[in-house]
Structure 1
Amino acid sequence: MIRKRAALAAMGVAAVALAGCSTAAGDDDGGGGEDGKVEVSMLVNVTPNLTEEFWNELVAPFEEANPGIDVIIQNPGAEGVAAALPRLLAAGDAPDVVQSLPPTPELAPELVDLSGYDWATEGPLAEQYTIDGKYYMAGIGVQLQSLMFYNKTAFEEAGITELPTTLEELDEALAALSAAGWTPIQTGGDWMSSHALQALALPSVVGTDPDWYARMSSGEATFSETYGTFIERYADWVAAGYVPTEALGIQYPDAEQAFLAGESAIYPMGSWFAGTEAAAENPAEIGVFRAPAIEGVSEPAMGANIASPYSIPSSSPVVDEAALLVEFLTTDETAVIDQLIVDGNFRDGYAYETTALGDELFQIVAETPAGSYTPTGEGYGERRLPAGYSEELNTQTQALMGGTPAADVIGAMDDWFAANAG
């Protein structure tokens, strides 16, 4: 196979041409290698839902329509896309397309500016992810984050007849579930630890202060004054046994399967879990409610990230072909719907049949004002926290789960912001 070098200087012209392109790429390639095909490598996130088989089947129609292009799926293995890409960039072996890694100010210089492509500028959450007014990625839809999946049998046995709409009501529900003999909260180690904490905190933190990301980044606000009470609340949950002591040793796939099997009551997780539930055999009866805020917050924030962001490293020698692939992945109706279904994501104008749990998620989407969406973790676009925040919050959350006093965790986070913000 050959790798054809695309002229980056011609990107403005190429953007216009490719945006309206309806012919198959590679028909007039003329060869140069044994089969005359162009390889386009794509580094992807591989999960229990997004298997290598899924990715290869997803791009197969594109390859059929573009016989001169062969898409090579790259599995980053245990290190994941976020860790693999910097290593590959440094080694001069970057992929041609990167999936699942939103652009950051640090990464942007390594990426192709997609501002000339309508499919990039008009896609889901496109403007929110811009950096200095430029579009460096295109996604397939919206991925909800601030959700609480729940075991309906557990709620019935605990006598909970109405879903919690405030954190105060959630505290009461957790106590009832524990008294009924259920493990109230299913979480685990790795990144899952801070995911549960953010589901607890962000609806209130950002719902109270929509400019929280900017104020934290500039040093105008402190972690202790904005987030501290939620650290204390999570510590209370740990002390009460709502978060099991063995949680730190539970890996993501095991936590997921335990909840599906009906071994726990509430699973704070993103909307992609609906795809897992839909594919499971005989799962427990599961419902979902949006993560609540404290009493008095009129519009709780909903964590929402771009679903499956795609970007193109500027070092790629096949930018034109890579852009054709990303356009297909983010606009072809079948390709988009397949990706939405597998991870339980959503996009206006792209409807698909789903389970009862999926219908509940669609209802949450319909009831969520567009202005209440908030980033999670370090954020995205112009709403960002200092680099390394997600890792530090996860480290400190795990310390909290391991018995470190809440005051020490809050103090450590204040120290971290003092050293990194401003």
Structure 2
Amino acid sequence: MATKHRITGVAATAAAALALTACGGDAEPGQAADDGEPAGEITVITQRTDIVDTVFQDYKAQFEELYPDVTVTFEALTDYEGEIAVRMNTADYGDVLLIPTSVTKDQYATFFEPLGGVDELGETYRLVEEAAYEDEVYGVSITVNTQGLVYNKKVWESAGITDLPTTPDEFLDDLQAVADHTDAVPYYTNYADGWPLSQWDGNRGAMGDPEYQNTHVAHSDTPWADDQWHGISDGLLYDVVAAGLSENDPTTTNWEESKTLLGSGQVATMLLGSWAITQMQQAAEDAGGSADDIGYMPFPHQVDGTFHAQVAGDYKNAINVNSDNKAAARAWIDWFAAESGYAYDEGGISPLLDGPTPETLGDFDAAEVEYVEMTPAPAGQEAYETDVVNAAEIDLYGNIYRQKLVDIARGAADGDKESYFADLNQRWADARATVGE
């Protein structure tokens, strides 16, 4: 199970948002998360089906020892986005849950308890603006991820590659060397599961500009131009597949199997968030290798000779506005961020400003990667990009349009890169005209 899933398309996002608008919280004013001592029973809903019966039980024991008047129960959802959206049409969606991507910022107060102001929480936690609306923060990241490519170092070394690729063309040359000199699949798309393709959108920080998404993506009529981020990133994905450097039949890929394939060296490279590093290291050890076989490289694009990588919060822990035990729920959120060790153990950056840096990002340190925190949209523009996404019917944060990209690149659908990008640009421009500035 991955640490992070997104819903699979704009249609799903729009439908969920539409459905969620109809329901709301009925909590009484004054029932704040800091009222009273933590006590009572709380249900914590998680997407981590793989560790809910092991690691999370250790969390439960530690937390309940610190707060003996609180009892914690977990619910793990396999299809987190889909299942939680249905639950949120009632008041019964746990006490602590992860803010789903289908909920827009202007809906936060309807479903979640405010945790405090941006300035206040910003003294303790990273990236609080990501879960804030009108200066109120509604969630705290479970971990902070950066973005890049996880790869099997032994395979790349066997292909004779000694330096990190600094451009998309160099990356393609390196994958070709893997194909020519090893038996490994150079790149694995994870097409069939779908959600891994959404990871490609999380690398905007590679452009080195914290304002990029506010000045270029939503406010450009041509995001798929050659010199713009989606043209560069989606263009690279297209070229990888078109050159025959990915798996033979993407419709048969499997996420869980892919970890074993990369860990054992049967696959060389996958683009995934840093959350995936520890899972791949474990897979390498399970295959008889070493965690040291797994490396993490920045996206092959430099600005002024420097690699940049976006940092962003993962799912955000939030409190159900209808919870009867908000003080206990708030205690869990703060404890999870500060004491559980989840972020560090998962190879993530701590949500705490003074939290530890994971050893798993040593490769980024060696490559002198500069981290970029993207500037939030300005006030009044928080939902603008989402509005354009929905109007264009391009699931920018999902996998459907990228699956079509892969299909075109492998000859399973009509068109080519130029015609597909022209279509995407036209739909995007038309959507911007509909939404307005």
Question: Normalising TM by the smaller chain, what interval?
Answer: 0.7 to 0.9
Contact 2:189 2:197 (C-alpha < 8 Å) held by counterparts? no
The question of 1:395 aligning with 2:400 is answered: yes
Letter in 1 for 2:246: V
Offset, 1:402: 1.8
Q: 1:241 aligns to what SS in structure 2?
A: coil
Per-residue CA deviations over 1:316-370 (Å, capped at 9, x if unaligned) read: 22222211211211222xx1x2x0233210225333785xx55335656xx4444
1:222 aligns with 2:222: yes
Q: Distance in 2 between matches of 1:327 and 1:178?
A: 47
Distance (Å, rounded) in 2 between the aligned partners of 1:299 and 1:192: 29
Tell me what 2:11 maps to: none
Q: Aligned Cα RMSD in Å?
A: 3.4
**1:166-205 alignment, distance < 5 Å:** 166-181=167-182, 182-189=184-191, 190-195=193-198, 197-198=200-201, 202=204
Distance in 2 between residues matched to 1:272 and 1:286, nearest whole Å: 13
Q: Which amino acid aligns with 1:67?
A: P
User: Of 305, 309, 313, which residue of structure 2 is paired with 1:306?
Assistant: 313
Letter matched to residue 283 of structure 1: G
Q: Is the 8 A contact 1:187 1:255 kept in 2?
A: no
Q: 1:128 to 1:249 in 2, by over 3 A?
A: same
Q: 2:43 aligns with which of 41, 44, 59?
A: 41
Secondary structure of 1:162's counterpart equals coil
1:243 corresponding residue in structure 2? 246
Which residue of the other structure, out of 413, 425, 431, is the alignment partner of 1:419? 431
Could you tell me how far apart the structure 2 residues matched to 1:43 and 1:362 are?
34
1:7-22 matches, within 5 Å, as 8-10=28-30, 15=34
Which residue does the alignment assign to 1:113?
114
Note the 1:118-129 alignment, pairs <5 A.
118=120, 122-129=124-131
Structure 2 residues not aligned, in runs of 5+: 1-25
Q: Structure 1 length as normaliser, TM-score?
A: 0.77
The residue that corresponds to 2:104 in the other structure is 104
The secondary structure found in structure 2 opposite 1:402 is helix
1:187-217 Cα distance to aligned partner (Å, 9 max, x none): 2123345246447x7355x436833345433
Q: Is the 8 A contact 1:302 1:374 kept in 2?
A: no
Secondary structure of the corresponding residue to residue 269 of structure 1: strand
| Counterparts of 2:361 and 2:232, CA distance in 1 | 33
Query: Which runs of 5 or more residues in structure 1 are unaligned?
Result: 1-5, 19-23, 27-37
- Matched to 1:385, the amino acid is E
Cα deviation for residue 270 of structure 1 reads 1.4
Of 207-216 and 311-320, deviating more is 207-216
Amino acid aligned to 2:82: A
Does 1:74 pair with 2:97?
Answer: no
Counterpart among 289, 293, 302 of residue 283 in structure 1: 289
Tell me the TM-score normalised to structure 2 length: 0.75
One-letter code aligned to 2:168: L
Tell me the equivalent position of 1:3. none
Tell me how far 1:229 sits from its aligned partner. Answer: 5.0
Q: Give me the whole-angstrom Cα distance separating, in 2, the residues matched to 1:322 and 1:120.
A: 20
Amino acid at match of 1:25: P
Does the Cα contact within 8 Å between 1:194 and 1:393 map onto a contact in 2?
Answer: yes
Percent identity at matched positions?
A: 18
Q: How many residues align?
A: 379
CA gap of 1:54–1:214, structure 2 versus 1, over 3 A, is farther
Equivalence for 1:350: 355
CA contact (8 A) 2:85 2:100 kept: no
1:138 to 120, 137, 140: 140
